[in-house]
Structure 1
């Protein structure tokens, strides 16, 4: 996950050996248009890319899911039926949605650390660093009022400034129905092979000067400095691939004790809590379309990481990551002890880090259950908005009361859109029951004693009374309270009382202990990573992901996840028909798509064999936040759209798996096929720049030997069942072995 600013110095030569035909300046340049100008951070949580000179933006279906769900109603259900704007005036606005476009990044390490050395007390260092980061960001805002921030890298060994332009007028242009955009659902999530059309399209609008502006019907489509041409010439194994986007968080420098804490304590707790949430949500969503639409986005988000944490644990165990870390840490200590100066600097850092994790372990469940249980019910999370009002009412400050009530009114708009009282009550009872049962009693908030004594520990009974009496269940009740807010009424509301008790208990009794443990680790972690880089001075290190723009380069590549199983690097539309199941909502296929596939009516989007490619895999390094990132070939053309990782490498946030790591992508040809042939929205394709230059490996693939290989494999296609468990046929294994010889 490389910083594009440093590509020329660190990566260009290696990238060109692998097939890159661009210069470093064509990837990142602040004076001239470059690839970085075509990439945006979408909504602060995903990635998108411009695919036309008229601001047309491509991202994942699951990245646009919130916006699509918000614009959907039972009468106009865009999630189920899809949506395609026939003209610009039909494109749908999305209040609150924004994109950030990078203006520049700058290494400011020298400015942040000026005058700071090994003798600087840690508290003074932290204060100086924080003040300088804020000052540099404020200075960079300039008259344009850019969005700016400074982020630390390598645990505070380096610092970089990032400057963005934020555009707030982002309109929905098109989305396929769930049956395409989410084909395979939870069953296929994190799995390969896939046949999912995970894409949606938006358009960014700007004022008459092409600058950021609030939504206005007078705004014009944004004209990007750079947009990506789309290559429909084909993708072959071994092709160069580059993923350009905003990976969220990785922790690959974490020590063995940190891994143990995640694998043995926090991950199992998250899986348990999310599993119960999914069970409750699914039961109510299946009973009502209105409830389904309210919770569709939340369900998808909860499910995604419910499965992720399971895969992460499985990957860490399979790779024996903890054991590998222990071995490497022993080598580190040996290296540090071999020199008096190194021993003084680095000799105790691992011991200090491991003590910090040991101190955290006692309170880890309290931390996990706060976010995953206590704040899981919508009413409980919304109730936190009333803490400032409570303070203002106690102090009887009219201005602060008005400010707090105005903030609550604004927050309530989104709250009531995704809220169903019976569902939330069930969540409240279940989540707090689990919190009560699983978190050590010595760390319980005071409200739990009330439930024990007054309600005999019956959380269902407590929840029923809380939701019956609260003013948080309807706009009418809420507005009546806010018109004349009363401290007594607020503090007697059982939902607020519960959340306030849990929150105060965490702030007073839990968080200080966690922060103390982490603070004691900060210096040790910074020195540990500095020592690693010194110890392996011949190695080029990349920093952990932190939601800043990165690129990953690799190639299109198949893999063999276990003995006797081979996964091809691509899938076709035939796999959609093989998985199709009209009785399973995850594998329903629209009739029009079935008809197009059976007729092989793929138009110019078919491959050289007349098939329609759907998904393909590369060995690019991605994580959360990379969703929607463009997959770019060696000529700087879009060939696909990253949307998922594979189950075998779910440990990726903690350790990179060089053998199994795969990035799952929607083939650009399938995206265009759905827009053009399925949706009939060819006018959108017409504004894109399409190229048909074949893959650089296409000529190799057409030689007689490779043609023979293709013929053999065509006749022994692996069977695919509806749960994506592909087992290679005996004949294919023999054929492959024979061709290798």
Structure 2
């Protein structure tokens, strides 16, 4: 990825210090605070609350992605890369659906995605006063745990034992508000269609985070209830027409995480500590996975999905680092923060007798910088970076979940780690018992990489090394743990779960014993982090949120948190230095771009269908909506509420969107419903799906 200069005026980026009201089409708005009048004024539309409610009830959260209901019988559209894990889990080296596509000719052939859930947000209520009251007068870990315990109680009261509903207390404005989100949950989700991986990722990593694009990055899943397709009378109407440049659109999805409300001091920690570590160790994992994939066809199959994941993470990190080292971008953010501080100081009712929250954040940063590496590597959950414990090893994840769950379930729900409260145990069990393939060689690569990087970053002399490695090398230890573990078998995991702490402590599984061995150090660093970083950060963030509401009112939207948001914009290209393109690509552009050499090779199905496809049909388009990772699969709607596409990517300049939105450069990349219709009809012959969509 090239480092591209940033061309934007201070006026355009005045929002970037995360305090000023949103301008233009900026904003990942919560559904209970969407600016209907403002959107109508800017877009020339006439939407109302009924339109918003229909969008919410037709939008779906699917794992770490977004999706949309498209029929009355539970059919859902998302991205192909969002079902990649499901495709990999359903595949074998002998039957690789990523190579052939998953093309069931009827519903009876749809296959269940192991461990997958689909959720629809049905209700939002404010519980801020109750959560804040629970932690009143407390400090450090007691402050954090009191809020977590109260949130868990609220969730349990709201949902009880109803397996079809999930409740989640969501923190917004970095602790400024707490909302109870209630979801209708479907835990039987089946794959209904997925194209070949090469059709969805045409152009490979070279085209990733760029435009023009020529990708059919779409897939269908279906929600089932009691063994039958779920009844979903509220859904988006399918529109297979050619999109129109300049048309207003709405995009509904679950953007993962933005950091627009962070102070300058916090951003400097991300720039100087978090991103450099994350990027360096991710690049090595990518290298190890690529080397492994080159050993043979089976290895390439096993490593394909992990490589795509780490490459996306690495590219996003590079784009974000480019923003944080861009003097003009950061100067605008600094100016806006200074303006916010002046407004706070001049409002005596806000600042009189109050600690300065910006100074409090500055005081926390030396501790955060010191603790980030051990916290990220041993425990995870910093909320700042992307480093994963054990390198994402499934076996270690199973072991830690079993060990922690056994220990925590012995306590009252309110005294447990938040992720093991009664209201969240069903989700833990669902993930733990799901039948997923485990590849020992991949497991060893991940563990060996994690152990070697942890030793490197924490140093050989770190007190954590005694438990983490003992007298073994990363190579020997990872091999011993993977070869001896039986946790790949769901029946073994279930037996250990049901046996409780006694079964865990008596287990001779080396991965279980290892998780027990390293657990004390991981819990200790988590406790230190909660006391010295998380709790004081939460307190200062609450004060900043109160000041923000007082100064700007509800014209400020919260940072993205992986919860449902609505954004809006228009279909249009881009015309700034380093990023000039029209709004659309067509199948004719695909034929022209196909060279016959990787990664520009047409799939056999596309090649065979070439003469049947209208070359002017639109494949992909760009829109000016405000999106971030997690928005993948987000349905794109016209002003009638009809679905006309799904978000699957953004451009390189848009990666700085984590810290601020610029309408001139921010572009989301969309696969159109016209392209999906063409693919279903002319390439794959899935007429039963077209009939369900109402396409003639």
TM-score over 0.5 for the pair: yes
Alpha-carbon contact 2:435-2:490 (below 8 Å) kept: no
Greater mean alpha carbon deviation, residues 668-677 or residues 378-387: 378-387
Alpha-carbon contact 2:65-2:632 (below 8 Å) kept: yes
* 1:625 aligns with one of 626, 630, 654: 630
Aligned residue number for residue 75 of structure 1: 94
Q: After superposition, where does 1:632-651 map in structure 2 within 5 Å?
A: 632-651=637-656
Q: After superposition, where does 1:114-129 map in structure 2 within 5 Å?
A: none
What displacement does 1:554 show? Answer: 0.8
Greater mean alpha carbon deviation, residues 500-509 or residues 263-272: 500-509
Q: After superposition, where does 1:34-73 map in structure 2 within 5 Å?
A: 34-42=54-62, 44-73=63-92
Q: After superposition, where does 1:394-473 map in structure 2 within 5 Å?
A: 417-421=437-441, 423-440=442-459, 443-447=462-466, 454=471, 459-460=474-475, 463=478, 470-471=484-485
Aligned residues: CA RMSD: 3.6
Greater mean alpha carbon deviation, residues 505-514 or residues 261-270: 505-514
> Structure 1: any 5+ residue segments left out of the alignment?
29-33, 207-212, 393-406, 692-741
Matched positions, count = 637
Alpha-carbon contact 1:374-1:499 (below 8 Å) kept: no
Alpha-carbon contact 2:290-2:303 (below 8 Å) kept: no
Alpha-carbon contact 2:114-2:435 (below 8 Å) kept: no
What displacement does 1:201 show? Answer: 0.8
Structure 1 pair 390/547, CA: closer, same or farther in 2 (3 Å)?
A: closer
SS in 1 for 2:180: strand
Structure 1 pair 37/264, CA: closer, same or farther in 2 (3 Å)?
A: same
Provide the rounded CA distance (Å) in 1 between the counterparts of 2:504 and 2:344.
62
Provide the rounded CA distance (Å) in 2 between the counterparts of 1:296 and 1:133.
39
Aligned residue number for residue 607 of structure 2: 594
Provide the rounded CA distance (Å) in 1 between the counterparts of 2:616 and 2:679.
14
Provide the rounded CA distance (Å) in 2 between the counterparts of 1:178 and 1:449.
38
Structure 1 pair 478/223, CA: closer, same or farther in 2 (3 Å)?
A: closer
* 2:285 aligns with one of 273, 277, 288: 277
Provide the rounded CA distance (Å) in 2 between the counterparts of 1:98 and 1:258.
34
Provide the rounded CA distance (Å) in 2 between the counterparts of 1:436 and 1:128.
34
Alpha-carbon contact 2:254-2:631 (below 8 Å) kept: yes
Residues 1:579 and 2:593 aligned together: yes
What displacement does 1:533 show? Answer: 3.0
Q: Deviations over 1:661-697 (max 9, x none)?
A: 1111001111111111000112211221359xxxxxx
Residues 1:528 and 2:547 aligned together: no
Aligned residue number for residue 149 of structure 1: 168
What displacement does 1:322 show? Answer: 3.5
Residues 1:674 and 2:679 aligned together: yes
Structure 1 pair 53/530, CA: closer, same or farther in 2 (3 Å)?
A: same
Q: Deviations over 1:427-471 (max 9, x none)?
A: 4334322222222556441437966xx56xx54455556666x34
Q: Deviations over 1:556-589 (max 9, x none)?
A: 12113426x52111111233234324442x3321
Provide the rounded CA distance (Å) in 1 between the counterparts of 2:679 and 2:607.
12
Rg larger in 1 or in 2?
1
What displacement does 1:16 show? Answer: 5.0
Aligned residue number for residue 49 of structure 2: 24
Residues 1:328 and 2:339 aligned together: no
Provide the rounded CA distance (Å) in 2 between the counterparts of 1:387 and 1:77.
34
Provide the rounded CA distance (Å) in 2 between the counterparts of 1:233 and 1:489.
60
Provide the rounded CA distance (Å) in 2 between the counterparts of 1:437 and 1:360.
19
Provide the rounded CA distance (Å) in 2 between the counterparts of 1:107 and 1:254.
23
Residues 1:556 and 2:564 aligned together: no
What's the TM-score, normalizing by structure 1? 0.77
Aligned residue number for residue 663 of structure 2: 658
Between 1 and 2, higher relative CO (CA 8 Å, sep ≥ 6) is seen in 2
Q: Deviations over 1:449-497 (max 9, x none)?
A: 966xx56xx54455556666x3459869989x98997969849x4x666
Aligned residue number for residue 737 of structure 1: none
Aligned residue number for residue 732 of structure 1: none
What displacement does 1:204 show? Answer: 1.8
SS in 2 for 1:162: strand
Provide the rounded CA distance (Å) in 1 between the counterparts of 2:436 and 2:147.
41
Provide the rounded CA distance (Å) in 2 between the counterparts of 1:543 and 1:255.
14
